[in-house]
Every structure is written in structure tokens, then in C-alpha cells.
Amino acid sequence: MAGEQRRKKRNKKMVFRINLMFFAVFILFSILIFRLGIVQIVYGENYKKEIEREVEVPVASTAPRGQIYDSKGRLVVGNKPQLAISYTRSQSTTQEDMIQTSELLAKMIKKDTEEDLKAITERDKQDFWIIKYPNEAAEKVSDKEKDKLLASDMSSKEVDDEIYKRTRERITEEELNAFKKDELEVLAIFREMASSRMLTPHFIKNKNVNEDEFALVSENLHLLPGIDTTVDWERYNALKDEDGEVTLSSVLGNVSSSKEGLPSEMLEYYQSKGYSRNDRVGKSYLELQYESVLQGQKKIMKNYTDKTGEVTKQDVVREGQAGKDLVLTTDIEFQQEVEKIIEKHVRSLRGSNYFLDRGFVSAMNPQTGEVLAMAGKQFVKDEKTGETEVMDYALGNMTSQYSMGSTIKGATVLAGYQEGVISPWSVLVDRPLYFDGTQPKRSWNTAGFGAINDLTALRKSSNVYMFLIAMRIGGQQEYIPRGKLRIDKDEGIRKLRYNFHQFGLGVKTGIDLPGEVTGQSPIPPNGGNTLDFAIGQFDTYSPLQLAQYVSTIANGGYRMQPQIVKEIREPNLENNQLGAVYQSIEPNVLNKITMKDAWIEHVQDGFIQVVNHPQGTANSGITNKKYKIAGKTGTAQAYYGGPLKVQSNPDTWNLTFVGYAPYDNPEIAISVVIPWLSSDKSKINLHIADEVFDAYFKMKTKQKDEENEEL
């Protein structure tokens, strides 16, 4: 009886527990159904939208670069359209997808040039081999090695990376070299695809795409996911001479290719400006200096992708626009004529002048600073063929420096006025100067010119007159025959350099190009060097600095900033004409020299005498007196500093000239620099200057006649 009661009592407890459990399950299901109802009824529409949501991804495409024209509107640098094949990678694309597309595309286009195949690295081949042969790749690392790695403290990612590293390292040379040419062609296409950014067009081939390739790919785009046919552009120089040399090529600079993209040293800078890694940008000189205006405005597309990463539609956010055009200050016809003059005269003397390999002419409008010509030629020996080629070296006008000799004596005389050691018409005695313990210092006329004034000193190019100015500036007022040179060399050269800097000698000219030099300004080891400075035999200057200096004298004392670009224009692609003016580059006065106007005019008279007086050093070499030319000759004894290997630096001669015309209303100022001749007897500097002035004024007359005919 007691046992029966205990059994009934246990059954009741069990039934209660079961009922309690069923009740709990009922409550939980009720809560679940309630929550599902809320999700479906209240939030259902939102979740549905989330599933169908499209992601907006902005994508920029390149635009043609701005073109470059000369001062008369002739095209100098332009863009040549070319057929291209591009690839846009979606978010869902796998390596296997790219391999499949690469194999199919390789049957339609050629991607087997030396440049294409040379770009393939060993790492590219290794990665490609692993993808192509996954089973063989898996066997490169044993299961035992993998288990040991998994049992280590390494993370799963570190394990995967280590397995991949060992796999790659164990691929043999024989396996990598087993790729056939058609497989390498597939690899060349694949590596382009693999290097592309998500949803950003990347060129697979944009050079030498023929019409058959373009048409075949266009017809099969439905089989080539991500591939598109488009039109790209190639930068080209429109002006080449008969030898294929490009006028002003060294000054115009270069643009990176789509493969090069952004320069690594400026990557962060350009990316902060909104550039993409594969954007083409100016790498040097004019293309670099005006990158911000030459670079086109990209077309901005907004891609809408679904959750799988596939593009569902596109909208144009901003239309693209070609970059703005540049108009140079240089007349290309005049530039090319000056180049021919330099080459002709340098070539004629090379046989008797072993070290002579270059020549320069800088021409400026002294009133505005506009660069009328910046010409340089260099004879370069090809190490492979042994042939000598003539290269454009216009850049050397601002990137190389030389001792300029007596051309700078105008600045020395004006410095003497400014420092109060001489005045206009001051008479000093030109005779050999003998100092204790040194070689005599004298003029080119070794006996001396006797008592002469400042204009005669300029006309005859007296060295001694300039030495005496430097001595006085350095604190020694009188020459004592056979005595010691007692000048303060440092103070003397400091004052001279300060005055020279006002003309642009020894400082940057400010030209709108990067990379110009200032010249060399060493510390003088003795007082004699300070005297040498006064005749252009110590510091070095660039040909462009020399042109700025003579322009400052020609225009009455205003140092003008040289400018090679005079206008920025809106692009006009419809009729290949110049567009509207976006910005005019106005003349910029860097400084007005502190000398009195009357002093400058006095030195101008001296420069007129140099060319037009029978005793002037340029009188016989400058024959075109009708152009009213004023100027100053220069001869500097200089150490050779060129590319030829020599046992010791031989003595050579730099022949120079500065001048302007017409002297009563100057419109052109030039410098001529011919370094490293074997002797100082040639008049090559004067012959070049004479022909440059003649070319300028004849071209000006010709253009006026053409304008009158049109009217």
C-alpha cells in the first residue's frame, strides 16, 4: 500500500514536469512566432530593400592632355588618338575568371612584344604556375609540413602565407621555363588584369592595336567579362627635323606612360590631388611645371553594384574635359633657325677643337621677359655605334654653367659706380699690374691701353680697369707697383656679388621651369681671385642668366622674370584651333637695380661702342650694323669640364657674347656661349650672334609682309 502511494506521487511529479516543459516550449514558440511576425510585417520592407540594395562606386576615366603651341599658334606637342582595349575588374571576379578571360582574349589580340614579355617577372610566372597547376602546387608542401604549421602558434593567415611562400620557392626553373610563348602571352594579359584596381578601367593594350583586333574584340565583348574597346591617346612632338630630332625636346619634358603611372617619389602628393596610380603625368620640365593645367578633367562615372559586386547600371556624374593648352613665348620657326645656326658653326670648328661639343643661345624680349628662343646643341658619341649624333640641349641654357669672361664687365662698371669707387668718365691707367710674389695681371693687350675712361674700358674690354675697380671695392684704393695686393678679398667679392645678383648673375632667373642652376660661387682663396671675378673668370653662370643680365641693362635696369609660357587656353578639339584665353601670364619685374638711370645709360653707350666703334671688340664680327646692335664680347680661360675622359683638366677657352637690338628701343636680347675651344682666336661667338639677329629681324619683316598680304 505504501509502495503504491509512492508510485502515484512520482507519476504526478513527472506529469507536472512534462506539462511545465510543454508550457515553456509553447511560450518560446509563441515568442518566436511573434518576433517573426514583427520582422515580416514591421521590418520586412526594409530587409527586402537591403537585399536588393545597390552600392554606388564612383569611377574616373582619363581625359586627353592639354596641347602645346608656339607663339604663332603652331602645334608643338599634341595627342595622337589610338585604339585601345581596357579591362574593368568587378568585386566578384576571381583569379580563375581572369585566367579564363585572358586565355580567350589572347586568341584575339597580340600581346607578345619584347616590352610585354620583358615586363613579366619571375614572381608573375610563379603565381601563374600555381593557378594553372593547382594539384602540382599542392604537392610542393607535404601534409606533414602543413600539420606541423597548423600545430604551431601561427595564425591561420600566417600558416597560409607560409605554405604559399614555400610552394612558390619550390617551383623549379625547369617548370617556369616550360611555359610556351602562347602561355606567356596569356600571362602578360593576366598580369595586367591582376594589377587593375576594382571597378577602374585599366588598359590591357593601348599601343599598336590594329583594326582587326579592335573589331574582333568588339564583336565578342559578351564573351569577355570586364573587357571593353575604347580610344586612348599618345603624346607626340609635332616638330621634328630631318634627323628626327625634336625642337626644344629637352625643355618640353616627358609624360609617364600608363604602365609607369605616377612617379613613386610623388605618389602620395598626386593621390592627394585625386590622381589614380596609373594616371599619366608630366615627369620633367614644361610637362611637369604645368601639370595642373595640362592634366585633363576626368569623366566621373558612378557604377551601381549589387551585393555580389556586379555592376547593374552606370550614371555620368561629371563629363570629362581635355586639359588646357599652353601657348609658348617662342616662335618655333625662329627657334629652329637659331638651332641651325649653332649646329653649323659648332660643327665647322669641331675638327680643330677636340673638346668643343656644344653651344647655346638664349634670346629674350628685354621688355617682357618672354623667351624668344632657348637653343642648345650638343654633339654626343654613341658608345655602341661610334657615330656622333647632334642632340637637342636647349635645357643646358638653364642647367649648365660656365665662366663667361668679359661679357659681365658692364655689371662690374655699374658695381663700381654703386660702391662709389668710380663715376662715369673716371680715368684709370691700364698697364700690367705687378704684385709681390705673383704673376702679372694684365689686359689682352699685354702692353696695356694707358689712361682710359670707363667707356673705352668697355669698348676695348680692358681687364686692368676692372681689376682696379675690384681692388677699390675691396679696400685698396691705389695700386703700388711690386707691392702686395692688400684687398679684403671676402668683403670685396661679397659686395661685387651683391651687385651682380641684382642683374640675375649668380641667382636663379625665376624661369617657369624646374631645375635651373644658380652657378658656382666659391670662396676666393686669395685676393687675386676677387680680381678675376671682376672679369668673369671666377664664378660661373648659366647662358640664361647671361641673357637676363643683358636684358636688365637693355631695358634700363629692370630684371624681368624669363617666361616660356605666355598663355593658358581652354581646349578646343573641334577644329584644332586655339580656344579662349583662360589665363595670360603677365610680365613680372623681379627687381629694379639700385643704380641710377644715368649710370645704366652710360654703360649702354659703352655697349653700343663695343659693336659700332671701329675699335670695339665686336666691330669686325658683327656685320649687321643696320639692326642697331649693342653688346659685349667675352673670353674666359676655363678648365674643361665635359664628358671626355682626360688625364688632367686642360686649359680651354669659353667664347661668349651678350647683346640687344635695336639699341634705341630694344626688343631682343641674346647671350651666346660656346665653351671649351682650344684657342681664343675664333670669332664663333660673334658670327653666331650676327646671324641670330639677322634671322630675327628678317623673320619679323617676313611676318609683317604676310600679314599685309592677308589684309
Half-sphere exposure of 249 toward its Cβ, with a 13 Å CA cutoff? 17
Kindly state the cell numbers that stand for 149. 604549421
Taking the C-alpha atoms of residue 403 and residue 529, their distance in angstroms, rounded to an integer, is 13
Nearest to 661 by CA among 630, 625, 691: 630
For 636-679, give the DSSP string.
Answer: EEEE--SSS--SS--EEEEEEEEEEE-TTS--EEEEEEEEEES-
Active site residues per annotation: 406
Q: Which residues sit opposite 427 in a β-bridge?
A: 453
- Provide CB contacts within 8 A for 362, sequence distance 6+: 371, 373, 374, 375, 397, 543, 544, 546, 547, 670, 671
Q: Which residues sit opposite 638 in a β-bridge?
A: 652
Segment (H or E) for 317: strand 311-318
- Provide CB contacts within 8 A for 587, sequence distance 6+: 367, 368, 369, 370, 560, 561, 563
Residue 244 zone, left/alpha/beta (φ > 0; ψ -120 to 50; rest): left
Torsion on CA atoms 485, 489, 494, 497, rounded to nearest 10: 60
Q: CB–CB of 690/696 below 8 Å?
A: no
Please report how the helices 597-612 and 543-554 are oriented relative to each other, as an axis angle in degrees rounded to 10. 110
For residue 605, which amino acid is it? D
For 219-262, give the DSSP string.
Answer: HTGGGSTTEEEEEEEEEEES-B-TTSPBTTHHHH--B--TTT-S
